[in-house]
Homo-oligomer: A and B are copies of this chain.
Amino acid sequence: MNEKINVLDNGYVRLTNVMGSDLSVVNSARVSYDKESTELDEKDIRLIKFLAREGHTSPFRHATLQFEVYAPLMVARQHWKYIVGSDHTMDAWNESSRRYVTEEPMFYIPQADEWRSAPENSKQGSGSTIDIDEGADFTEELMDFVEKGEWLYNDAISRGICAEQARLFLPAYGMYVRYYWTASLQSVTHFLNQRLAHDSQVEIQEYAKAVYSLVKPKFPISIDELTRTEV
């Protein structure tokens, strides 16, 4: 399995593995009644709708998915916070670290037409995109600043400073990190419900949309019943 969706300037989400289907959700639910289906029929679909509507979520935990994600640290960090901060713990996570990796760092740089204004009536989130000329200024400033940070980082490394301290010079919020995320279908949809919401950061919404697109063909009924959202 190797389906991959590109996100932002250099990022992506890849579905690396999956266990289960809409049918296995149904069969996990039916164990209470000692019944098993071999093909998804109308009755099974009604059962999935019932389970999702009534909040009987345990059958959705018997299906699992593994993703490889390449995302700016600020996105990875929101993703982590959702997992640690929520009570949905059927998740595994392994991530690259700049304590080890010495490959060239890669950074997310918003293009001239991607900078957003502060929202009018809220402490968080963002409003409309700003004027493209002013955006071009910020893109250039950020590229210069990131370049300067990389230069200082490489200089420190070459003068013998340990990688774990040298990284203090990197503007890390935009730096790409790579991680494997394994989660139950329930946990994935909980993430989608939070991160597809309009008040979540635009950049993580893009990753959530990619996750949705990869999951949809594998669990066509369950995913829509559990997210109940227009994507």
Interface of A toward B, CB cutoff 8 Å: 16-20, 24, 27-29, 31-34, 57-59, 61-62, 64, 66, 68, 73-74, 77, 80-81, 83-97, 99-103, 108-110, 115-119, 123-127, 130, 134, 138, 141-142, 145, 148-149, 152, 156-157, 159-165, 167-174, 178-180, 182, 184, 186-187, 201
CB pair A162 B59 closer than 8 Å: no
Copies of this chain, complex-wide, total: 4
Bound Cα distance from A7 to B99, whole angstroms: 21
**Residues from chain B with Cβ under 8 Å of A115 in the complex:** 161, 165
Known: A17-B20, A77-B77, A88-B87. A33 touches B94 (CB 8 A): no
Known: A92-B184, A186-B87. A162 touches B28 (CB 8 A): no
CB pair A92 B134 closer than 8 Å: no
Residue among B27, B89, B165 making CB contact with A87, cutoff 8 Å: B89
**Residues from chain B with Cβ under 8 Å of A17 in the complex:** 19-20, 24, 62
Can you list 5 pairs linking A and B with CB atoms under 8 Å apart? A18-B19, A27-B180, A80-B84, A118-B163, A170-B173
CB-CB nearest in chain B for A89: B89
Question: Which secondary structure characterizes the binding site on chain A?
Answer: mixed
**Residues from chain B with Cβ under 8 Å of A168 in the complex:** 74, 108-110, 142, 171, 173-174
Bound Cα distance from A109 to B86, whole angstroms: 32
CB pair B90 A92 closer than 8 Å: yes
Bound Cα distance from A212 to B160, whole angstroms: 32
**Residues from chain B with Cβ under 8 Å of A161 in the complex:** 115-118, 130, 138
Residue among B64, B87, B134 making CB contact with A19, cutoff 8 Å: B64
CB-CB nearest in chain B for A173: B172
**Residues from chain B with Cβ under 8 Å of A99 in the complex:** 124-125, 201
CB pair B93 A81 closer than 8 Å: yes
Residue among B61, B167, B173 making CB contact with A167, cutoff 8 Å: B173
**Residues from chain B with Cβ under 8 Å of A142 in the complex:** 152, 168-169
Residue among B24, B125, B171, B187 making CB contact with A170, cutoff 8 Å: B171
